[in-house]
Homo-oligomer: A and B are copies of this chain.
Amino acid sequence: MVLDLMHDHDNLTENDCKMTVGIKDVARAAGVSVATVSRALGGGPVSEELRKKVEAAVAATGYLPNLSARRLRSQHSHTIGLIVSDIRNPFFTAVSRAVEDAAYAVGMRVILCNTDENPQKEAMYLRLMQEERVTGVIFAPTRATAQKLDPHQLGFPVVLIDRAAPPGQTDAVVLDNAEAASLLVEHLLAQGYRRIGGLFGNTSTTGAERHAGVVAAMQQHGLQAEARFIAPTPEAAEQAVRDWLREPVQPEALIASNGLVLLGMLRGARAAGVSIPAQLALAGFDNDNWTELAGPGLTVIEQPVYDIGRTAMKMLLERLEDPARSARKVVLSGRLIARGSTAQPIAAHAGQQGAEPR
């Protein structure tokens, strides 16, 4: 009672100049201690009676918890980092959306970082994640960084997406690149193409793995694939294709190691004036919106993009529950979507069982 009077007095002088209402003010308004307020809000052991009082006081005062203070004291940031090369790559856009949905669903925040495939930016952002004391990180590293990545050094768990690290080191969720590449190659071979080439990104393990998969699948048929490695951008891919198509010996079909490269490929082919698939077949990864609509439709491997993000988040949460468990790699399968860009070339000319296409 005496206390209440004192506080009322305080209110008269203080209330007007107080900028933000804190847990203290709620406690005063509810006539309880700050600890009780904290417990009521955090689901601790509080009698129903006081809980009601606190809730009323919260509503009355318009209290909003200060997440920075909460994080500092509880040593729990409820924040994860998502580090990708460029959110404008539709693959990462979709993954990002899945990660964010899953994160918000369990009350976590997401900090998104774009590295532009630049190891320096990767290092900078990893450091930033440490300063943020993030709970964990979902990361699509460049090859350079993936090799020297030591998750135990970082202080938080890491789940790799799209790109793998040395086996057994880190949790990861990736596409079965060998399988996917094989699907593409087998499809192209079945359609009658033999001289198959490819453009692969040179910054990630993914580009390398998809290349290896193509090579392996071709070898099974006693064939060779000519591969070129480029920066994984539409611009680089377009230039590479234009150059390639000016050379004396040209490919019958071209495989792109991701959506951006495929986009550049198509642009390059158009610029060179070759018709698809009559003069050149095209296939690649990522079932982006435009692939269905461009030209005759582009044959692609569809990745389970949303699943990848959701699974990555799930693995991160599992890892947090059991930091000791051994590293896992989840390998998801892609689906071949055959479209006009790899239609049978011979169909345009003659019958369909030509012995030696072109």
Contact = CB atoms under 8 A, between A and B. Distances in A.
A339 to B, nearest CB: 13
A64 B266 CA distance: 47
A106 to B, nearest CB: 14
A200 to B, nearest CB: 20
Interface string A275-311: 0000000000000111001110000000000000000
B68 A72 contact: yes
Contact of A97 (B72, B86, B90, B131): B86
Interface stretch (A110-118, A173-181, A211-219, A239-247): A110-118
A268 to B, nearest CB: 12
Contacts of A67: 131-133
Interface in A228-245: none
A127 interface: yes
A254 to B, nearest CB: 16
Given A68-B72, A87-B93, 5 more contacts: A87-B87, A87-B100, A263-B293, A288-B289, A290-B293
7 contacts: A67-B131, A93-B93, A100-B114, A109-B111, A110-B112, A267-B293, A293-B293
Nearest to A77: B68
A114 to B, nearest CB: 6
A87 B77 contact: no
The interface residues of chain A, by DSSP majority, are classed as helix
Contacts of A94: 88
Q: Which of A90, A101, A270, A289 has the largest count of B CB atoms less than 10 A from its CB? A: A289
Contact of A88 (B66, B97, B293): B97
A70 to B, nearest CB: 9
A96 interface: yes
Given A263-B289, A289-B263, A294-B294, A97 B114 contact: yes
A69 interface: yes
A71 interface: yes
Contacts of A113: 100, 104
Nearest to A298: B293
A191 interface: no
A111 B67 CA distance: 13
Contacts of A114: 97, 100-101
Interface string A49-87: 000000000000000111111011000010000000011
Nearest to A72: B68
A101 B121 CA distance: 12
A79 to B, nearest CB: 9
A130 interface: yes
A196 B4 CA distance: 70
